[in-house]
Amino acid sequence: MRMTFLLPALLAATSFSAMLAAEQPQTIALPQALQRTLQHDATLQAFPYQLRMAEAQQLQAAIKPTPQLDISLENVLGTGDNRGLKAAELTLSLSQQVELGQKRERRVELAQRQSQLQRDNYELARLDALATTTLHYVELLRLQHLQHWAREKISRKQTLLATAELRSKAGNLLDADISRIKLRLLRSQIELADIQQSIQSQRYRLAARWNATPDFAAVTGELAMLPEVPALSSLQQQLQQSAALQRYITLQRIADSQLRLTEADSQADVRFSAGLRRSQANNDNALVFGVSIPLTLTDPNEGRRLAQAEDHALQARQQQLAASELSLLIQQQWLNLQQLRDAVYVINTRLLPEAKKLQQISLSSYQQGQLDLLSLLSAEEELAQAEHDLIQSQSRFHLTLLELERLTGQPMTFTTTAPAAALEHSYE
């Protein structure tokens, strides 16, 4: 089982990423970042070796016991009739151990399931690696949006400062008000510098996912595009095929195979032998046959078998608990997505338009001398906060969606360019 892992909203917004990469080599799209992670992530590089080791263990488990050649020389270098080699008896025999209880089949079965566990571990590590890369990608995209937001905020403050200076020249404004605007502008510039520094750091965090220095200046994508999420019942069905639960199933099968192998080992093997005996004293040859049967009066693996039976029961219980926990996590994240979609819709349709309206009315009133500076600055802050809340809610939506994808191992494939439009009736 090999699952794909994508963040559809960002992918939909970057469907032209190949063209962008050709025209603007300083940008990177999410598919490129994911591909680089798969190729160069340090943890994933170890799994091909581990898989080949597991295949070698399967080969080793299938090996049968080798025949044994026995040579014995008796009645030599004695005294009397046994002086020198006069009465020597030379026996050449070939023996073969015969495994009973299907031991070889049980070893092969256990090795195959341990190999499957390595593949399950790889799938989980792959999903975690891609999820971590996508998380850093979304965080960098969020910072880029905040950078644009901070620049817009500075632009509005610079416009306000120019208007205030005109009023100050006319004697309609105090110097303290000019200083107040300059202070707000300076704080916004410092905020922008902090965001830009965070962007530089985040670029290195993202590039570190494929063990390289960043060869890009920005990532492409649009936070405003929120995908439609499948129904909760559909997500619960997808969970049953998730890599996390598949690994628990494999662990339970390994415990079952170990128990069956221990039970097989409790049955003693038989060794048959056949050969030729040469008697020097009588100048005779004869065939010899033998069989060796261990007498197992008690079960040599009783304690091990009981322990492995308990381990089998433990794995079954852990699978049940993991399935229940993951189901609750999916329900929680799904509800979080609905709440975040509602929040984005309210900000987009109500809070942000109202904040823009307040800012425009306040600016117009201020220019006409009908409003004081503090009221205008308050309106500016309301608008800036609404824009900031929108970016934060959108990025949180994508990160919550990412967690759903990691839990189920499946991409959320339904996308829309009208965020939360389906929920409009909830606010009528």
79-103 pLDDT, tens per residue?
766 666 777 888 888 988 888 888 8
Q: What does the pLDDT look like over 144-184, one tens digit per residue?
A: 999 999 999 999 999 888 877 877 766 666 677 788 889 99
Higher pLDDT, 238 or 196: 196
For 289, list phi and psi in degrees, rounded to 5: -130, 150
Domain ranges in the chain are 8-64+99-266+301-427, 66-98+269-300
Residues in Cβ contact with 293 at an 8 Å cutoff, skipping those fewer than 6 apart: 268, 270
- Average pLDDT, integer, range 103-128: 90
Confidence label for 298 from pLDDT (cuts 50, 70 and 90): confident
Percent of the chain with pLDDT strictly greater than 90: 34
Contact 284, 89 (CB under 8 A): no
Residue labelled with tokens 């190999």: 115
> When comparing pLDDT for 188 and 25, which is higher?
188
**Would you say 106 and 264 are in contact if contact means Cβ atoms under 8 Å apart?**
yes
Per-residue pLDDT for 213 more than 80?
A: yes
176 versus 291: the higher-pLDDT residue is 291
Distance separating alpha carbons of residues 390 and 347, to the nearest angstrom: 6
Q: How confident is the model at residue 412 (pLDDT cuts 50, 70, 90)?
A: low
Maximal CA-CA distance, the chain: 141
> Is the pLDDT score of 205 beyond 50?
yes
Alpha-carbon distance of 340 to 250, in angstroms, equals 36
How high does pLDDT run on average in the chain? 83
Q: CATH 1.20.1600.10: does it fit domain 8-64+99-266+301-427?
A: yes
pLDDT of the residue at 309? 84
